[in-house]
Copies of this chain bind each other. A is one copy, B any other.
Amino acid sequence: MKNLKIDDNTESQKTLWTHKEFEDQLRNIGRVRYHDNCRFHHLLHSGMLNKGQVQAWSINRYYYQINISIKDSALMSRIKNPELRRKWIHRILDHDGRKDDEGGIERWYKLTDGLDLDRNYVKSTDGILPATRFAVDAYVTFVREKSILEGVTSSLTELFAPKIHKERISGMLENYSFINDETMAYFKKRVDQATDDADFVLNYALKNAVTRDQQEAVCNALKFKTDVLWVMQDALYQAYVYGSIPPGAYVPEDFNDRYIDNK
| Contact call A234/B253, Cβ cutoff below 8 A | no
A126: which B residues are within 8 A, CB to CB?
3, 6
User: Given A131-B134, A131-B231, A235-B131: A124 and B250 within 8 A (CB)?
Assistant: no
A93 within 8 A of B: no
User: Which among B133, B235, B242 is the interface contact of A242 at CB below 8 angstroms?
Assistant: B242
Quick one: which of A211-263 are within 8 Å of B by CB?
Answer: 223, 226-228, 230-231, 234-235, 237-238, 242, 244, 246-248, 250-253, 262-263
A138 within 8 A of B: yes
DSSP class of A's interface residues: helix, strand, loop or mixed? helix
| Contact call B251/A244, Cβ cutoff below 8 A | no
A116 within 8 A of B: yes
A131: which B residues are within 8 A, CB to CB?
131, 134-135, 231, 234-235
Measured CB to CB, the nearest residue on chain B to A255 is B2
| Contact call B238/A234, Cβ cutoff below 8 A | yes
